[in-house]
């Protein structure tokens, strides 16, 4: 045991020396743009609560009402005795939102991606995937036992070539890439999948609720339907402010997932009170469309200001606005400098992003004000271009 501890201690020391060590922060307030973190109120630009619903009074009230009516826990998996009325109603609402016959709830987005890919691909099959896909999509592909072929980021031409390698394939991509904030070229990928007889799966975790005229996500933004993208994955803990995930598609696909997706079959169902609260969140998001409009305005204000300052922003039309730092040490030093001034922005470092591509991942919420954006720009303008990196022992964790 001591030998194991020595080896693990050495690896932890290596992570600290390389500015790659991560630690958790302690929140003592609801999620929001002004959370109390480690005993101090901060102005936060690193949450995925894009519409500001995580602490919306209507959603909070629905959670309390759901707990009073249905209890705290589901008690069992969906296929045993854990499938409650709020689960059914939420699946129906998500199917309507995404324009599909059916939807299926999962407990987390990670489990949804592992379960869906494992159920639809296996040994003897091929999975063609964007190189910058979220870790859950990559892990799902690897664990499925299928042959994983990865194409350069957003290269639909290369994806098409890989799809024609023989045999039925599954084409997998994010809709919005969580660390870059850019959009997948879904129309071109849909054509490639159709031409090759492949199934296209899109994880739109960061697009649903945010993009499109009604908030239906990247597919709505790019004018695509279920005929173009047969299987859609989404999460509920980002724009909708609660917890959980879902897959949406045809009756045949959803029935297949119910029978074969192991993370669905063998996991206790999402608490019914959370499903009840999510129904309220969907209603608020649909009714208060000013939230999406205001969010877009905050992103536009930030990008205009950053352009005037000559900041090295990456191209992104979404609330995810990465500021490229290059080295992990530089990203970490920038994050610490902002934190000292009361602004929380997370440093994203390898292995979440490639070596040399460390960055500040700046994210916006409908709860941000113009003065918040201006304050952030003021502090970013004062960042030294190449601050001396320091030890990473107290680095904040990456938001993935």
Residues involved in catalysis: 178, 206, 238
From first CA to last CA, the distance across the chain in angstroms is 32
CB distance 311 to 323 below 8 Å: yes
d(CA 42, CA 33): 8
- The distance between the two most distant Cα atoms of the chain, rounded to a whole number of Å, is 59
Which helix (H) or strand (E) segment holds residue 249: the answer is strand 245-249
CB distance 277 to 127 below 8 Å: no
The residues near 293 (Cβ < 8 Å, ≥ 6 apart) are none
CB distance 210 to 51 below 8 Å: yes
d(CA 351, CA 106): 26
CB distance 372 to 42 below 8 Å: no
Burial 153-183 (b: 16+ CB within 10 A, else e): ebbbebbbebbeeeeebbbbbbbbbbbbbbb
Burial 201-239 (b: 16+ CB within 10 A, else e): bbbbbbbbbbbbeebbbbbbbbebebebbbbbbbbbbbb
The encoded tokens of residue 308 equal: 């005037």
Q: Which residue has the tokens 């200001």?
A: 305
Q: Which residue has the tokens 């320091």?
A: 390
């Amino acid at each position: 045991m001591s030998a194991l501890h020595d080896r693990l201690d050495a690896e932890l020391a290596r992570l600290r020396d390389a500015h790659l060590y991560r630690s958790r922060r302690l929140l003592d307030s609801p999620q929001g743009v002004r959370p109390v973190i480690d005993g101090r109120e901060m102005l936060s630009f690193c949450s995925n609560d894009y519409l500001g619903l995580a602490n919306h009074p209507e959603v909070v009230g629905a959670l309390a009402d759901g707990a009073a009516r249905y209890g705290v826990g589901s008690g069992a998996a969906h296929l045993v005795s854990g499938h409650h009325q709020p689960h059914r109603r939420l699946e129906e609402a998500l199917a309507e939102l995404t324009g599909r016959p059916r939807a299926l709830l999962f407990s987390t987005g990670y489990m949804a991606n592992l379960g869906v890919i494992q159920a639809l691909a296996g040994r003897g099959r091929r999975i063609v995937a964007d190189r910058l896909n979220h870790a859950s999509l990559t892990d799902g592909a690897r664990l499925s036992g299928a042959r994983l072929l990865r194409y350069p980021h957003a290269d639909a031409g290369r994806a098409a070539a890989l799809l024609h390698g023989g045999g039925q394939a599954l084409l997998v991509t994010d809709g919005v890439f969580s660390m870059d904030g850019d959009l997948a070229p879904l129309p071109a990928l849909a054509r490639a999948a159709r031409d090759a007889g492949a199934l296209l799966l899109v994880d739109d975790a960061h697009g649903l609720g945010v993009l499109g005229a009604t908030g239906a996500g990247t597919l709505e933004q790019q004018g695509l339907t279920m005929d173009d993208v047969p299987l859609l994955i989404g999460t509920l803990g980002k724009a909708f402010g609660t917890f959980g995930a879902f897959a949406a598609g045809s009756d045949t696909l959803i029935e297949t997932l119910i029978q074969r997706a192991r993370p669905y079959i063998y996991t206790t169902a999402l608490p019914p009170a959370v499903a009840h609260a999510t129904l309220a969140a969907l209603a608020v998001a649909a009714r208060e469309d000013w939230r999406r409009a205001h969010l877009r305005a905050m992103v536009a204000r930030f990008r205009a200001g950053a352009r005037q300052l000559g900041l090295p922003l990456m191209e992104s039309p979404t609330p995810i606005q990465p500021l490229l730092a290059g080295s992990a040490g530089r990203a970490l030093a920038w994050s610490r400098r902002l934190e000292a001034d009361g602004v929380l922005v997370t440093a994203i470092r390898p292995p979440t992003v490639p070596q040399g591509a460390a960055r500040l991942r700046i994210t916006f919420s409908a709860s941000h004000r113009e003065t918040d954006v201006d304050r952030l720009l003021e502090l970013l303008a004062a960042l030294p271009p190449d601050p001396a990196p320091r030890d990473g022992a107290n680095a904040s964790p990456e938001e993935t």
